[in-house]
Chain A
Amino acid sequence: MISQTSAVLKANKAAGNGNLIGYFPAGYPTLDESIEASIAMCQNGVDVLELGVPYSDPVMDGIVIQEATMTALENGFKLKQTFDAVREITAKVDTPVLVMTYWNPVIQYGIENFARDLAAAGGAGLITPDLIPDEAAEWLEISDKYELDRVFLGTPSSSPERMKTACDLSRGFVYAVSTMGITGARAEVDANARKVVAKVREASETANTAVGIGISTADQVVEVNSYSDGAIVGSAFVRAYADGGVEALVAKTVELSARLKN
């Protein structure tokens, strides 16, 4: 099968462009507003959308995303609205939509139910921050059945063996965790980012890899694209939206993507 996400990443790179993968939480601040915001990101320079599922215990997320997802939950976000959001976004734009979700909501919905409904809504696959390949047997099988991408994480501390597993089992791209830490803007993306990407390249000749955690400026986006297949930005978008709504979000999207396109 051909991964829609992988096709987009490779096509942009082949054309000499970079890739910007943008995160936004479903249901933040409300479902409709999150759909509007996500579409605006896709129309203004985001190449792959990472749609976050609000979750009560997001251990991989810093305070900006924590606060946004808590707002979504307080405003009544329900898990099945994830599929409504994916459906409405993919109806308007061709951008691949990956859903970023902690694993318990998927288990409770039923892994197969979740995959079936995500595929039916036009979603491209899942990014699973707290599901390691070792625990993913059922997800591997079901994501094959529904032809969904599955993005596992590679980190500075991953052993060569684990990195190879992440590369072999990921589809779409490997999420290269740039630094030992949680989501949130950092002044400098760690030199670790280059090391992680180098580890991915050593482990696999074919796997795409995009760098995430801590990226918030156009300079960082350009730099990361010089040695990887894309830059992942989350907190900077959420903060822009929190400060100035869709207008500020669009401005941030344009700012971060402008220098990636020939």
Chain B
Amino acid sequence: MSEQNLRSHVGPYFGEFGGRFVPESLIAALDELEATYNTAKADPAFAIELAELHRTYTGRPSIITEAKRFAEHCGNDVRVFLKREDLNHTGSHKINNVIGQALLTKRMGKTRIIAETGAGQHGVASATAAALFGLECVVYMGEVDTERQALNVARMKLLGAEVIPVKTGSRTLKDAINEALRDWVANVENTHYLLGTVAGPHPFPTMVRDFHSVIGTEARQQMLDEFGFLPTALAACVGGGSNAIGLFHAFLDDADVKMFGYEAAGDGMDTPRHAATLNYGRPGVLHGARSYMLQDEDGQTMESHSISAGLDYPGVGPEHSWLKDLGRVEYRGISDAEAMDALRLLSRTEGIIPAIETSHALAGVIKLGKELPAGSSVLINLSGRGDKDMETAGKYFGLLDAAKAGN
């Protein structure tokens, strides 16, 4: 297997994965988006405008924090570094892609954006960009998720977005994407679908990856400048896979840098209640692309399960499927319980409360560190902050009951 030149790969296909499996009604819009994106990519003014927004609005570059006390729990003599995407405006990596696509929306002369959201992070980022650029914004969110992420629903509404709870199917992220696609088919003339992950039909997987690749590009240079070496391994959580590909992409051709993606194992890898698509799925077509997905023998999409709304998705971006089959990235599962323990551990050792999604990567590194040789280093994408998860975490750890009891 050659590990060279993986970085230069673009869609529509990643090996046998990717493509465009959508109704003909959307093809003209996808072609327009692709053309607009290609023009923008070749236009230095676009890069300057995006970089300036990231500097003055997003808060880029995000810093790297060495997590020394947390690292004590990750095996012997392993250094752990956190790429702090949680410090971005709106609290996660999602803003990187949203700002980029909002600029493209303006270029296309469209006035309305729609978005799907699971944990609410992408919805909040989309609502934020809509406010900044004066766009109408509708966010589709599974009804189950509106309940477990109520705080983010309030944030989106405060920002002026309309939030539509999706009551069909499993009432989670998968169904929110279906509903957003239906809206897009009907309103494609004035509407851009601001897809929030590296899934969907071409050009989304390539374009969203490119907008997030700033994470790894910055981190790689920061590691070299501040510490003088590249990490032994990278770690990130994987639902659709946007934060993971954002970190991995700049390092894909650094053959010595190992990469680990952590999927949600829900109740556990030995149970049927999980969202470990790359571990337990098989290739199929979902939401416009060919990729690994959780499905039954008839090709019906299966429901995924995770305490984390952002990882509770039975599909995954096509580039991840390709990287898995190439053996370039290893994908592992982390249970709800392991993730929640890691969330608490990072909070108590570093004073950083991570998102539950991100906590899957942290839990992964607690285990991974013990497999790595002494002197190794791991760079984790700290993709989001945990403020939105206080209700879930409060219940999980019994903190809310304790507060009520006056403890």
Contact = CB atoms under 8 A, between A and B. Distances in A.
Interface string B17-37: 001111111011100000000
Contact of B23 (A56, A59, A70, A108): A59
B20 A153 contact: no
Contact of A107 (B185, B187, B188, B299): B299
Interface size class of B (residues with CB under 8 A): 20 to 34
B22 A57 contact: no
B20 A56 contact: no
Interface residues of A, number: 39
A130 B298 contact: no
A55 B300 contact: yes
B285 A177 contact: no
B24 A180 contact: no
Q: Which 6 A-B pairs have the closest CB atoms?
A: A108-B299, A157-B28, A79-B298, A181-B186, A105-B299, A153-B24
B27 A157 contact: yes
B22 A130 contact: yes
Looking at B27, B29, B295, the one whose CB has the most chain A CB atoms below 10 A away is B27
A159 B31 CA distance: 11
A159 B29 CA distance: 11
Nearest to B284: A104
Interface in A34-78: 55-60, 62-63, 66, 70, 73, 78
Contacts of B174: 57
A152 interface: yes
Looking at B25, B27, B29, the one whose CB has the most chain A CB atoms below 10 A away is B25
B157 interface: no
B173 to A, nearest CB: 12
A105 B286 CA distance: 11
B234 to A, nearest CB: 32
Interface string B148-181: 0000000000000000000011000010001001
Contacts of B299: 55, 79, 104-109
Nearest to B298: A79
Contacts of A257: none
B176 to A, nearest CB: 12
29 contacts: A56-B300, A57-B178, A57-B287, A57-B301, A59-B287, A60-B23, A63-B168, A70-B168, A79-B299, A104-B295, A105-B299, A106-B299, A107-B299, A108-B299, A109-B299, A131-B21, A132-B20, A134-B20, A154-B24, A155-B24, A157-B27, A157-B28, A157-B29, A158-B27, A162-B24, A166-B24, A177-B24, A180-B187, A182-B185
A56 B296 CA distance: 11
Given A57-B301, A59-B287, 19 more contacts: A55-B300, A57-B169, A58-B178, A60-B182, A103-B21, A103-B285, A105-B299, A108-B295, A109-B298, A129-B23, A132-B24, A135-B20, A153-B24, A153-B25, A157-B27, A159-B28, A166-B24, A180-B189, A182-B182
B9 to A, nearest CB: 19
A181 B185 contact: yes
Given A107-B284, A157-B29, A182-B186, A152 B298 contact: no
A73 B295 CA distance: 14
Contact of A157 (B25, B285, B287, B295): B25
Nearest to B189: A180
Contacts of A135: 19-21
Interface string A175-188: 00100111000000
Contacts of B21: 103, 130-132, 135
Contacts of A107: 284-285, 299
B7 to A, nearest CB: 26
Interface in A147-176: 152-155, 157-159, 162, 166
A153 B285 CA distance: 19
A59 B20 contact: no
A177 B301 contact: no
Interface string B235-275: 00000000000000000000000000000000000000000
Contact of B181 (A59, A70, A103, A153): A59
A247 to B, nearest CB: 29
